[in-house]
Amino acid sequence: MSTLIIIPTYNERENVASIVGRVRASTPDVFVLVVDDSSPDGTGEIADALAAADDHVRVLHRAGKEGLGAAYREGMQWALAAGYDRIVEMDADGSHRPEELHRLLEAVETADVVLGSRWVPGGGVENWPASRRLLSRGGSAYSRLALGVPVKDATGGYRAFTARALERIRFTDVASQGYCFQIDMLRRAYDEGLRIVEVPITFVEREHGASKMTTGIVVEAMLRVTGWGIMGLPRRFRRRPEPTAPIEEPVEL
């Protein structure tokens, strides 16, 4: 099956060549789509040079900075139109290790959605302060409680989808930005009864550039998750039909 890795970028000139090179080295058969939001630091030009040298690399230039969710939506639309079977989300800063990509690709052979999880056995984080760990674990726990989605890591951005899953999720309707995009996609997949698995990954804090995490992103996620939880209460109190493929226990690879 053909696989596309979507890597959104904004001011990642120090990271984009490295991450694309690592993806291509670790999984030579996959294709890479860099989605650049007109980075003023020249990231897009570096990506163009990578594409010119490698026929497995593509670049999608966007008019301006519109957020992570918008970048992924446009990349996913591009992927489906091009006929890719599997679509993977990956950060540009190296926090998602390409050397662990094989775990997601192996799992998505029998699942609809695969989450690279920091909080299942075998997963973890490196170089994070206690406050970041608390924020990540707390966000996932709150999402699990509010939405009833039984996964350990609801906010992570290292994920694989089948093309069929993206079509059923109706991702083009997802208005969320920032990391709330990941929660929104997950709840839609769960509500559709898709088969979701988690595989362990190690998240490594970026070495170059600035984190895109802001207070506004956290507030957006809290408000939206709370709203979705309230709207979903009637359905959760009714007997819910069994999903066509239930949530799995973490996959040990």
pLDDT digits (tens, 9 = 90+) for 162-184: 999 999 999 999 988 777 899 99
pLDDT higher at 237 or 148: 148
Write down the CATH superfamily of domain 3-237.
Spore Coat Polysaccharide Biosynthesis Protein SpsA; Chain A (3.90.550.10)
pLDDT band at 238 (very low <50, low <70, confident <90, very high): low
Kindly report the average pLDDT of the chain as a whole number: 87
pLDDT of residue 9: 97
pTM: 0.86
Q: Which residues contact 173 (CB under 8 A, 6 or more apart)?
A: none
CB under 8 Å to 67, separation ≥6 — which residues? 177, 178
Domain boundaries, the chain: 3-237
| pLDDT per residue as tens digits for the range 118-166 | 999 999 999 888 888 888 888 888 888 888 899 999 999 999 999 999 9
pLDDT of residue 67: 87
Residues 6 or more apart whose Cβ sits within 8 Å of residue 64: 37, 38
d(CA 252, CA 127): 24
